[in-house]
Amino acid sequence: MLARTPHPSPGPTARAFHRFGNNRAALFGIGIIVPMLALIVSYPLWWTFKPNDIDLLAMNSGPTVTHWFGTDGVGRDVFARVLEGGRISLLVAIASTLISATIGFLVGAISALAGRWTDAVAMRFVDLVMTLPPVIFLLVLASIAGTGIWPTVIVISLLSWPLLSRMIRSRLLELRERDFVMASRGMGAGLTHLLFRHGLPNSIDILVVYATLQIANAILLEAGLSFLGLGIAPPAASWGNMLNAARSTAVLEQFPWQWLFPGGALVLAVLAINFIGDGLRDAFDPRAELN
């Protein structure tokens, strides 16, 4: 009688995604963000109005069959502007997250792997950046960089990387004492090899969780800057500047659709991404292996 071959146990990545699949909040977040992304990406193909098209006969019109989310004070379609605002907000969030993740990884990994003096200098610089008041630092950077998509990306990127660099350094300080890293050093491996052959693969879980949560944080930062007039400038649509345009008492009371829909889209997007980020963090948590 032939012995049965035991099935190989799933690897840590497969177990992590299995835990993620069992997280109802994370799945709920995916159920919200995927339809939103589909609408944001595809709306120019099927929606009649563009974000800056003006309908003089429908100024401050409430939701109708023609204008699903109503119009603003100059007759622009709120539905088109909400979706265009989502495009700009996600572009700013994703671009700034990629830049800040790159800076944070390089600073943290070089600090951990390049030697004692480099570690001391890099960490003192990180400490300096982290001691700056974030709100004041953000406003000063925004006033220097100016308004627009890419200045906003740069401002958010420069504010967001220090925490990641500390997490990467903490992970790689332990990694650099392992035998395979010491063997690589012994065979003459340079810093670039250590960074991308050993450092990056062993930091993927931190980078994935950071990127997911930072996208939600960047959306809020962009909305806040735009609300203050330091982010995306009109007539370009942004959830923040749409809320800024609707902040008067008359609009708040008489035309609530002008702030309700962009505000609702902002809240839903941030909640959904945070649910996904929390699910990924729990899934990649090493302590989950013990449960």
Supply the pTM of this predicted model.
0.86
| pLDDT class of 217 with cuts at 50, 70, 90 | very high
Domain contains 104: yes
180 has pLDDT over 80: no
Average pLDDT of every residue of the chain: 85
Domain contains 152: yes
Domain contains 229: yes
Domain contains 45: no
Domain contains 19: no
27, exposed or middle or buried, with CB in 10 Å at 0-12, 13-18, 19+?
Answer: middle
Residue 107: domain span:
77-286
Instruction: Please state the rounded mean pLDDT for residues 188-214.
Output: 84
| pLDDT class of 6 with cuts at 50, 70, 90 | low
Q: What is the pLDDT of residue 19?
A: 83
Q: Which pair of tokens denotes residue 191?
A: 């810093």
Domain contains 128: yes
The whole-angstrom separation of Cα 232 and Cα 138 is 15
154 has pLDDT over 60: yes
The whole-angstrom separation of Cα 127 and Cα 27 is 37
Q: Which pair of tokens denotes residue 179?
A: 């035998």
Other CB atoms within 10 Å distance of the CB of residue 210: 26
Most confident of 7-11, 106-110, 228-232: 106-110
- CATH code of the domain containing 163: 1.10.3720.10
Query: What is the count of structural domains for the chain?
Result: 1
Q: What is the pLDDT of residue 176?
A: 78
Domain contains 49: no
Instruction: Please state the rounded mean pLDDT for residues 204-224.
Output: 90
Other CB atoms within 10 Å distance of the CB of residue 267: 11
130 has pLDDT over 80: yes
Q: What is the pLDDT of residue 144?
A: 83
The whole-angstrom separation of Cα 259 and Cα 264 is 8
Domain contains 1: no
Instruction: Please state the rounded mean pLDDT for residues 94-98.
Output: 94
Span 244-272, pLDDT tens digits:
888 888 888 888 898 999 999 999 999 99
Q: Which one has a higher pLDDT value, 90 or 143?
A: 90
The whole-angstrom separation of Cα 214 and Cα 207 is 10
Instruction: Please state the rounded mean pLDDT for residues 111-121.
Output: 86
Q: What is the pLDDT of residue 34?
A: 94
Q: Average the pLDDT over each of 39-43, 76-80, 130-134 and give the range with the smallest value.
A: 130-134
Q: What is the pLDDT of residue 261?
A: 93
Q: Cα 86 to chain center, whole Å? A: 13
Length of the chain: 291
Residue 16 near residue 279, CB atoms below 8 Å: no
Instruction: Please state the rounded mean pLDDT for residues 43-69.
Output: 88
Q: Which helix (H) or strand (E) holds 36?
A: helix 24-46
| pLDDT class of 1 with cuts at 50, 70, 90 | very low
59, exposed or middle or buried, with CB in 10 Å at 0-12, 13-18, 19+?
Answer: middle
Q: Which one has a higher pLDDT value, 189 or 2?
A: 189
